[in-house]
Chains A and B, each alone.
Chain A
Amino acid sequence: MLAALTVMTIANGAAQGRGAAPPRSPRTAAPVDLTGYWVSLVTEDWRFRMFAAPKGDFTGVPLNPEGRKAAQAWDPARDAASGEACKAYGAGAVMRMPGRLHITWVDDTTLKVDTDAGTQTRTLRFGTPQGPAGGWQGVSAASWDRSPTALESQSPGSEGQSSGGSLKVTTTKMRSGYLRRNGVPYSGDAVITEYYDRFDIAGGDSLLVISTEVVDPTYLLQPFWTSTHFKKQNDSTGWNPTPCSVK
């Protein structure tokens, strides 16, 4: 029994990293490298994303009666005149806009996502979320969502990145906006949860897939799920910041 307990103690000590280095920062602990330039591959909801669909066309979005009413009231001219041309470029939809992303680390705890579509910036902060509420991009809390695989395969005290894990981002406190260009609404009370996954495929290409859940009791009957994919670029080719557009 003594021998067995001794072994158990050694095992637990090793697993918990007793005497090991201090906890790593989110940046050094990243299970996946999401930085760089990514270009969207618009192969789904193509006509909704590439063009503004007709008013009242909210096919696929589980709007409640209030949401339908708001969608029917879409007036792009009014949005432009009232300085709300960026309503379709908020956290609820900006990743669906055809365009490019530039993802960088600002510091050890903050990722930044710049979009050329609408020239928006999202700040994804690990730990306690900070930042002004009420903007188009709201306040985003980031964390690494590691799979059991990654936890098992990562040896104690190891340095560097280990494969297996997603970036989880929860965004709240946005300014109300549009899920689609044609005025399909989400409210300022919506909660947006995203998972960022990277897949490397044969031939050297890498894909970024962002799975998004929008929960909005104000305008939605149920969570609205989409998944949006991007291809990695070697450089900034095609990066073309453009202002928000209501069309």
Chain B
Amino acid sequence: MLGQVTFALIVATLTVATVFGQAGAPPVEPQSSAGFDLSGYWTAAQHEDALERGPGPELVDYGGFPINDAARLFALSYDASRVTLRHHQCDGYVTAYQVRATGNARAWEERDPHTQRLIAIHWYNQTFEGHRTLWMDGRPHPAPYAPHTWMGFSTGRFVGNALMVETTHIKQGWLRRNGLPESDQATTVEFFVRHGDHLTHTSVITDPVYLAEPLVRTTDFVRQPVDHRNWLFACDDGEQILGRAPDQVPNYLFGQNPFIREFGNRYQVPLAAHLGGAETMYPPNATMSRPVAESDALARTRPGAGGSVASRAVNPEPSDGDVHVLPIRNNLYLLAGDRGNIVVQVGDEGAFVVDTGAGALADKTIAAIGRLSDRPIQFIANTSFRPDHTGGNATLRASGVDPSVQGSFFSRQFADAGVGATIMAHQNVQNSMIALRMPPSGVPSDTFLQERRRTFHNGDAVEMFWEPHAVTDGDSLVHFRRADVIVTGDIFTTTQFPFIDVSHGGSVEGEIRALNDILSRTVFQHEGEGGTLIVPGHGYLCDEHEVVEYRDMVVIIRDRVQALIRNGATLEQVKAARVTADYDTRYGATSGAWTTDMFVEAVYTSLMSAPTRPTTQR
């Protein structure tokens, strides 16, 4: 009897709690009490787009994709041989494309062991071992200067009968792996709906760079009762094309893609239709129901007339007048907010700072460093002379001290030896800053002439590598070897076309060499991402993938300009050819300090000049 009473009380209590909620009980988060369980093994029902999702899509089959002109030109320039490049061989798929990949998937929940509240749902795809974490605990998305990944950063919540997931911070990848690009500015909203053992996934991709309208796609999964036992996706980058020069990136010049008509001829589809565009995803319209003039269709395979367009990308650099700190790895931090990126290594020996920003927020930079370490700044390394990387030199130097000089023989020669941090850079940085009459106290005093400058600091091997004639004649990379972080200065940014300053010794060929030099030092961790981290001069924290895409872009634009020069084109004709048309919506500028026209002129001018060779200081 006692047992029955106890059971009844338990049942009654649970019933009340379920129906009314219970006064005094901890608040129940909606996501922990509602929704459905996604856990289990799933297999994609690959009945739609089976050819694309299996062996691969047809070339120049863009029909139904609401792409803009830039995306179409990017895709037409794409040569599938590009995947033979070492740094592309293990490229993964981005979020929404991953879901449509062939292979198996599984999902599982991650719950707080103490409260059983739902923290995250994990979704793992066999293809490229794509592992997504859908955060269900209400955490915010990272700052714009945080890294991008294949899977992006996802947060979810149950809405009605669906799990709604919002994803940001996605790498550049494919809308379709025949060259149709999805930019790193894309975001997705997804809906997972479960009907018994069937799961429907809906993705809505918004991409201001490459889409004219959101791209909606739906994918079906069928639940499997057993483990497929086939979860790995082996990949290494061991394939080599012997004899290919490091500055070769397979691509087709505008108007020279040899496969433009292959798809249309095979399936009797008009060219104007399978070149894609928002109009091609709607019910039959003029494009598909009546013939489009041959010349009009072909015109879509080349840049249109008119000037370049401005970037539609979000500037990831904070502009709120504050300095923001992002941990990078080990004892390294990114300080963003004073225009150029600043990197700080902290430790017992004192802070090692790479670049000092524009200097407007130098006091806040010093305060931020002070919160990371109670040791003073000992070293400052400059990647370039440019004011957005050296502007804070004088102030930061004055706040620091170099005890390695104090007490040495230098102190007998110089009264101020060791007073303030030591600034190091390539000799040409010093030359340029003196020539430009920049504040003497901010000019590097510890310079090097060739190859590299190295030091071991705070338990890490720190190397500076001179990159001759890249954006200027004095650029350096700074490689923290143990942390495996490379600080690139303006050789690489995520915000603009490379700022090739021809008047200070920059050149497009040197820029390509420098980007390849970065790539010669990187090692990815998994499926082409992670591993060596890259801090650009401006923009968000990266890995080698962003550098590869940037290198490809510079090479491809170089190739176009070079081809025009060979045909006798003038600078004005090169500009009119819109050689950057497929990248303008990502990096272009029509005003400001570095416009697209200025970049094209720099490429043209440096190619028209005598071949640049590595030299020492001026």
Partner of B46, one of A11, A42, A60, A211: A60
Binding site for B on A (CB under 8 A): 1, 4-5, 7-8, 11-12, 14-15, 31-32, 39-47, 50-51, 53-54, 59-62, 98-100, 116-117, 145-150, 152-153, 163-166, 168, 195, 197, 199, 201-202, 205, 207, 209, 211, 213, 223-229, 231, 238, 240
**Cβ-defined contact, B64 with A43, below 8 A:** yes
Q: For chain B, residues 10 to 48, give those with C-beta under 8 angstroms from any C-beta of chain A.
A: 11-13, 15-16, 18-20, 33-36, 45-48
**Which of B145-153, B215-223, B224-232 participates in binding chain A?**
B215-223
What chain B residues lie within 8 Å of A166 (beta carbons)?
161, 193, 195
Additional pairs, 17, CB under 8 Å, beyond known A5-B8, A44-B48: A8-B15, A12-B15, A44-B218, A50-B64, A54-B267, A60-B50, A98-B283, A197-B161, A197-B162, A197-B191, A197-B200, A209-B200, A211-B198, A227-B220, A228-B218, A229-B216, A229-B218
What chain B residues lie within 8 Å of A164 (beta carbons)?
160-161
**Cβ-defined contact, A7 with B16, below 8 A:** yes
What chain A residues lie within 8 Å of B288 (beta carbons)?
50
Residue of A nearest to B218 (CB): A227
**Cβ-defined contact, B160 with A165, below 8 A:** yes
B80 proximal to A (CB < 8 A) = no
**Cβ-defined contact, B63 with A46, below 8 A:** yes
Number of chain B interface residues as a range = 35 or more
CA distance A4 to B7 in the complex (A): 11
**Cβ-defined contact, A11 with B19, below 8 A:** yes
**Cβ-defined contact, A209 with B218, below 8 A:** yes
CA distance A80 to B160 in the complex (A): 45
What chain B residues lie within 8 Å of A100 (beta carbons)?
283
Tell me if A's interface is mostly helix, strand, loop or mixed: mixed
Given the interface contacts A45-B49, A59-B51, does A211 sit within 8 Å of B195 by beta carbon? yes
Partner of B13, one of A4, A32, A213: A4
What chain B residues lie within 8 Å of A61 (beta carbons)?
47
Binding site for A on B (CB under 8 A): 5, 8-9, 11-13, 15-16, 18-20, 33-36, 45-51, 61, 63-66, 158-162, 164, 189, 191, 193, 195, 198, 200, 202, 204, 214-220, 222, 267-269, 273-274, 280-284, 288
Q: Shortest distance in angstroms between A59's beta carbon and chain B's nearest beta carbon?
A: 5
Q: Shortest distance in angstroms between B291's beta carbon and chain A's nearest beta carbon?
A: 14
CA distance A171 to B121 in the complex (A): 35
CA distance A229 to B218 in the complex (A): 7
Residue of B nearest to A1 (CB): B5
Q: List 13 A-B contacts (CB under 8 A).
A: A8-B11, A15-B19, A46-B281, A53-B267, A117-B283, A149-B160, A153-B34, A166-B161, A168-B195, A195-B200, A201-B204, A202-B189, A226-B220
What chain A residues lie within 8 Å of B20 (beta carbons)?
11
Q: Shortest distance in angstroms between B142's beta carbon and chain A's nearest beta carbon?
A: 20
Partner of A211, one of B11, B217, B220: B220
What chain A residues lie within 8 Å of B34 (beta carbons)?
148-149, 152-153
CA distance A8 to B16 in the complex (A): 6
Tell me if B's interface is mostly helix, strand, loop or mixed: mixed
**Cβ-defined contact, B161 with A226, below 8 A:** no
**Cβ-defined contact, B158 with A149, below 8 A:** yes
Residue of B nearest to A98 (CB): B283
Most buried by B among A32, A168, A211, A213: A211
What chain B residues lie within 8 Å of A43 (beta carbons)?
64-66, 215-217, 281
Given the interface contacts A146-B161, A197-B161, A197-B162, does A1 sit within 8 Å of B8 by beta carbon? yes
CA distance A12 to B19 in the complex (A): 8
**Cβ-defined contact, A44 with B162, below 8 A:** no
CA distance A45 to B100 in the complex (A): 13
**Cβ-defined contact, A39 with B282, below 8 A:** yes
CA distance A81 to B332 in the complex (A): 76
What chain A residues lie within 8 Å of B159 (beta carbons)?
163
CA distance A15 to B63 in the complex (A): 52
**Cβ-defined contact, B216 with A8, below 8 A:** no
Residue of B nearest to A15 (CB): B19
CA distance A148 to B63 in the complex (A): 39
CA distance A240 to B286 in the complex (A): 14
What chain B residues lie within 8 Å of A53 (beta carbons)?
267
**Cβ-defined contact, B19 with A50, below 8 A:** no
Residue of B nearest to A179 (CB): B47
Partner of A224, one of B18, B35, B47, B158: B47
CA distance A149 to B157 in the complex (A): 12
**Cβ-defined contact, A229 with B198, below 8 A:** no
What chain B residues lie within 8 Å of A227 (beta carbons)?
48, 200, 202, 218-220
CA distance A62 to B13 in the complex (A): 52
What chain A residues lie within 8 Å of B198 (beta carbons)?
195, 211, 213, 225
CA distance A224 to B220 in the complex (A): 10
What chain A residues lie within 8 Å of B218 (beta carbons)?
44, 209, 211, 227-229
**Cβ-defined contact, B8 with A207, below 8 A:** no
**Cβ-defined contact, B267 with A238, below 8 A:** no
Partner of A231, one of B12, B63, B216: B216
CA distance A43 to B13 in the complex (A): 51
Q: Shortest distance in angstroms between A76's beta carbon and chain B's nearest beta carbon?
A: 14
Residue of A nearest to B278 (CB): A41
What chain A residues lie within 8 Å of B50 (beta carbons)?
59-60
